[in-house]
Amino acid sequence: MKIEDCIADFQIPRYLHYMDSAATSLIPEPVIAAMNEYDRQYRANVGRGMHRLTRVATQKYQDAHDRVSSFIGGNEGTTVFTRNTTEAINMVAAGLDWHSGDRIVTTGAEHHSNLLPWLRLRQEGIEVGIIQPGEAGIFDIEAFEEAITANTKLVAVSHASNVLGTVQSVREIADICKARGAYFLVDGAQSIPHFPVDARRMGCDFLCFSGHKMLGPTGTGILWMRDAVISPLILGGGTVEDVTTEGYTLTGGYKRFEGGTPNISGAIGLAQAVKYLENLGMDAVFRHEQKLTDHLLAGLAGIENVTVHGPENVKNRIGVVSFTIDKIHPHEIAYLLDERAAILVRSGDHCCIPLMRHLGLENGTLRVSLYLYNTLEEVDLLIETIEEIARIA
Ligand SMILES: Cc1ncc(COP(=O)(O)O)c(C=O)c1O
């Protein structure tokens, strides 16, 4: 399937121009159909019985794990379904065997979901070192060399910034982590939906991302682990091999980490979303977004009063473009874009208050985030409307 042909699969009213995919993407019809099929035709619990419906549901649920694992080159690791990226990161924060004096290294450009779980560990005597980004959100690799000390147990970095769009060279960070014996967690919430990623080649130990940002349903996320070294956060049905009143033996694989009845239709929908992306090809998805982003950056560069925050060209960036217009609050711009042209974008701090402080952007930014269903015509409409708004500011 060609990217241009997929627009019909997204049944949002045609007069709306959705450019907030970094928050949550739209969902295509085949994903909705796969979830409906489960609810209508073979709804049953998974891994818990012998009747025909539970056998079908269990197989589909297993297939969903296999498909997501292979999508990220993670077949040799453990792929756990979670509610979202936030839950996946918290599972690692709660599940590693921490000792007072251990150190965590993260950055000042992280989404709160990849910062708060680490900051909380300070209460347990864990040191947290923060590396600050340069202007366009780019890090100096030497800063990681310096910050990752012998007592560093974990380094947690986002692959692509949800504010500036910058893509980090995670492979280089992974090499440093490996040399110093630190675990490496990559927050892939903004990378997995947008370009091909191979977890093993990237060299991380944990990869966390969200299904709802990659055409899947809300309430779906993934924690991939190279080795399942964490203790499970939740125990109960489905997580054990054997139980007596004295104790229990945990089961292996993803089941150890998915206590209780999971989001079965969500998992089936997520697998269908992955299949959809695979059919399009992640290289093609990335090329399409680059074309749109290039066009947008060129358009914004020509408007007086507009400042783009983040890389000014498409090298090493995704289709997340943050900018401000002098003398007008980002919330007001977002409101005007909706009112005047039905363009839907996000404004504010984007759950990155420390980054906003670091960049001196107290009101935050306006963030446009493009995906495979956006078109050049929509980007033109955005540029024209921004020109109008900047003129009246
Ligand atoms: C980089 C990054 N990390 C983590 C998250 C949290 O994702 P979720 O809300 O799906 O847990 C987001 C969401 O926008 C994000 O952009």
pLDDT given at position 359: 95
Hey, which bits of 132-272 come out as E strands? Answer: 152-158, 183-187, 206-210, 221-225, 240-243, 248-250
Side-by-side strand order, sheet with 320-325: 306-309, 320-325, 365-369, 346-348
Strands 103-107 and 152-158: parallel
Atom of ligand 1 nearest to the CA of 113: 4
Atom 10, ligand 1: which residue's CA is nearest?
84
Catalytic residue (one of 6, 177, 208, 351):
351
Compute the residue count for the chain. 393
158 C-alpha to center of ligand 1: Å?
10
CATH topology of domain 3-27+282-392: Aspartate Aminotransferase, domain 1 (3.90.1150)
On the 0-12 / 13-18 / 19+ scale of CB atoms within 10 A, 40 is: exposed
* Cβ contact 299:323 at 8 Å: no
- What's the CA gap between 52 and 66, in Å, rounded? 21
Closest protein CA for atom 7 of ligand 1: 85
Measured in Å, residue 137 CA sits from the centre of ligand 1 at: 17
CA-nearest residue for atom 12, ligand 1, is 189
Which atom of ligand 1 is closest in space to residue 85's alpha carbon? 11
Nearest residue CA, atom 16 of ligand 1? 162
Specify the ligand 1 atom closest to the Cα of 87: 11
How remote is the CA of residue 111 from the centroid of ligand 1, in Å?
7
What values do phi and psi take at 208, rounded to 5?
-120, 135
* pLDDT given for residue 134 in this prediction: 87
Integer Cα distance of 26 and 202 in angstroms: 28
Give distance in angstroms: CA of 66 to centre of ligand 1. 23
Cα–Cα distances (Å) from 25 to 12, 218, 273, in that order, read 11, 9, 11
Contact yes or no for 191/170 (Cβ under 8 A): no
Write out the two tokens for 219. Answer: 């309430």
Both tokens of 263, joined, read 């989001």
Question: How far does the centroid of ligand 1 lie from the alpha carbon of residue 86, in Å?
Answer: 6
Distance, CA of 162 to CA of 303 (rounded, Å) = 23
Substitution site in 20, 82, 85 for ligand 1 pocket (most atoms within 8 Å of beta carbon): 85
Using CA positions, which residue lies closest to atom 14 of ligand 1?
A: 23
Residue 312, pLDDT score: 83
Give 83 Cα–ligand 1 centroid separation in angstroms: 11
Looking at residue 149, what DSSP letter applies? -
- Beta carbons of 344 and 12 less than 8 angstroms apart: no
**Residue 350 CA, closest ligand 1 atom number:** 14
* Domain ranges in the chain with CATH number 3.90.1150.10: 3-27+282-392
Contact 96, 155 (CB under 8 A): no
Which residues, 6+ apart, have CB-to-CB distance to 40 below 8 Å?
Answer: none
For the chain, what is the total number of helices (H) and then of strands (E)?
A: 12, 15
Predicted local confidence at residue 340, as pLDDT: 98
Where do the CATH 3.40.640.10 domains begin and end in the chain? 29-279
352 belongs to the catalytic site: no
Distances (CA, A) of 94 to 108, 117, 229, 270: 21, 8, 12, 25
Q: Which atom of ligand 1 is nearest to the CA of 210?
A: 10
- 319: nearest Cα among 195, 220, 134: 195
Put simply, whether the predicted model's pTM sits higher than 0.95 gets the answer: yes
What ranges make up the beta strands (E) of 277-318?
306-309
Helix (H, G, I), strand (E, B) or coil at 384: helix
**CATH topology classification for 29-279:** Aspartate Aminotransferase; domain 2 (3.40.640)
pLDDT tens for the chain, 393 residues long, are 889 899 999 999 999 999 999 999 999 999 999 999 999 999 999 998 899 999 999 999 999 999 999 999 999 999 999 999 999 999 999 999 999 999 999 999 999 999 999 999 999 999 999 999 987 888 999 999 999 999 999 999 999 999 999 999 999 999 999 999 999 999 999 999 999 999 999 999 999 999 999 999 999 999 999 999 999 999 999 999 999 999 999 999 999 999 999 999 999 999 999 999 999 999 999 999 999 999 999 999 999 999 999 998 888 899 999 999 999 999 999 999 999 999 999 999 999 999 999 999 999 999 999 999 999 999 999 999 999 999 987
Within 6 Å (CB) of ligand 1, which residues are found?
22-23, 84-86, 111, 113-114, 158, 162, 187, 189-190, 210, 221
Count of CA atoms in the C-beta half-sphere (13 A) of 124: 15
Which residues lie below 8 Å from residue 55, measured CB to CB, with a gap of 6+?
A: none
Which pLDDT belongs to residue 382?
A: 98
Dist. CA 73–CA 76, nearest whole Å: 8
